[in-house]
Chains A and B, each alone.
Chain A
Amino acid sequence: MSRSDAFLPMTAWLEQAWLQRYLDRALDAEEQAWFETYLLAHPHLVEAVEADTGLRDAFALAGSAGGTGEGGDAGGGDGRPGSPTRPSVVRPRPPSRRGLPPWLGLAAGLLLGLGLAALWPTASGPGPGLANPTRIVFDTLRGGHSPPHIEPGDPDSPWLLVEVPVPPGSRIDSVRLEGGPQSAVFGSVAATPDGFGLLLLDARATGNLVIDYAYPDGVRNQTRFQLPMRH
């Protein structure tokens, strides 16, 4: 293959076939080298690769939290790129320098890849700001009705990451967004061990978040958080 081959466009179906085999790691070394070169010359393919890489990063991040049933066969970690790695030695990117972990981008990219584009807040699909949305934290230390802590993110991000506190150990049965121009209903939401529910909302969302949750003993309760008008 000559170097200029990378610039010759393939038909869409053939391009997708190569991409699929690349993401499934089904290419041999020479094919991989060629396709990665092709990828650099055809940036519209990059998004799918970013989403897949985000999925890998998410598993590493989750593995570092010990939640993937990580067994003793976690790979040899011989140091070669592409070889098995030991998640215990990888360090999540320091959020202070890099923004929020990239799996946020993965989540949406994954959904888009599944054809669930309607879940996107905009019809345009993922943008470069996806991995760094504005973050709003309703902190129990600030009291239930004090203004939330807002960490500005990429102003072009279509997403808004909202963290709502619930008592540790409780289960969030449902979350509703009401009182604003948009309404939304979520099902049950996993709470972190520290007692936060993480919600990824349309960046334009305003109104009240109504959280129905249950204590470990089954007693139910409800709490509300008002999203700031401007974030």
Chain B
Amino acid sequence: MDVAAKAQSVTAPDLAALVVRVAAGERQAEVELVDCFRRGVAVLARRHCRPLDPAADDIAQDVLVAMLERVRAGAIKEPAALPAYLRTAVIHAAAARYRPRREQALDGPDRIGERLADERADPAASLAARQLAAAIATLLGELTVPRDRELLRRFYLLEHDRDEVCAALGIDPGHFHRVIHRARQRFGEILARHGLGTGPG
């Protein structure tokens, strides 16, 4: 049974069988187990980290490796609990990432050096990222309905919650989904108009 090959949901019996195979030392089962959760763990790590924080990738990797080690060691007695375990591990890792730590304050210069090294690693790619940022900023500026831009800005950039956004912009909370859907749609149309898509082929 190849659980990882399934595009659809994992079932509890499938997962239980995988866990048994991993605990028995079957390498292919390890690959299948990780593949079951790779994308989900990655996106949860991104959502629980600050936007664009590269640490999200590391958190996802660490969480999957830790899961694999526990399964190998036979420490997972209830395979059905794996999704909940993974989700909790991501939350804890992301929280730890942003928890004020004395050592973070002390090693500031090293961290700055690391950042500079990253940014200097590929000046051309860095330039491309800046160009892309400028381009999308320009596109956002083209939203003709000011409320759309403000709505998207508050919701996605400032991460205000729905009630805050509604209160600030005078939107009935019951209509929030419809309003933000329309704002996303208008932004999508701008992206399409500016070539972020192919024409008739």
Contact = CB atoms under 8 A, between A and B. Distances in A.
Interface of A: 3-4, 6-7, 9, 20, 24-26, 33, 36-44, 46, 49-50, 53, 55-70, 73-75, 79-85, 87, 90-98, 100-104, 107-108, 110-111, 113-114, 116, 119-121, 128, 135, 137, 163, 175, 177, 182-190, 192-194, 196-202, 205
Contacts of A107: 191, 196
Contact of A58 (B57, B127, B136): B136
Nearest to A94: B118
Given A53-B47, A56-B157, A65-B130, 9 more contacts: A3-B78, A3-B84, A53-B46, A56-B159, A59-B157, A81-B50, A95-B126, A119-B198, A190-B139
B73 interface: no
A61 B132 contact: yes
Given A116-B188, A184-B200, A81 B94 contact: yes
A190 B195 CA distance: 9
Chain A at the B interface: mostly helix, strand, loop or mixed? mixed
Contacts of B139: 190
Nearest to B8: A44
Given A43-B9, A95-B122, A65 B133 contact: yes
A61 B10 contact: no
Nearest to A83: B159
Interface in B104-163: 115, 118-119, 121-122, 125-142, 149-150, 152-153, 155-162
Contact of A101 (B133, B160, B177, B196): B133
A182 to B, nearest CB: 4
Contact of B153 (A59, A135, A192, A193): A59
Nearest to A176: B199
Given A40-B40, A43-B9, A50-B43, A91 B54 contact: yes
B84 A49 contact: no
A90 B190 CA distance: 26
Contact of A50 (B39, B53, B136): B39
Interface residues of B, number: 91
Interface of B: 7-12, 15, 36-37, 39-41, 43-44, 46-54, 57, 78, 80-81, 83-84, 86-87, 91, 94-95, 98-100, 115, 118-119, 121-122, 125-142, 149-150, 152-153, 155-162, 176-177, 180, 184-185, 187-189, 191-201
A112 B140 CA distance: 19
B52 A41 contact: no
- Taking each of B10, B36, B94, which has the highest tally of chain A beta carbons within 10 Å of its own beta carbon? B10
A177 B136 contact: no
Contact of A68 (B11, B129, B149): B149
A100 B201 contact: no
B80 A91 contact: no
Nearest to A111: B188
A119 B118 CA distance: 35
Contacts of B119: 91, 94
A92 B129 contact: yes
Contact of B129 (A4, A95, A108, A193): A95
Ranked nearest first, the 10 interchain pairs of A and B with the lowest CB-CB distance are: A67-B137, A184-B199, A96-B122, A60-B51, A119-B197, A95-B125, A65-B133, A40-B83, A94-B118, A62-B137
A59 B191 contact: no
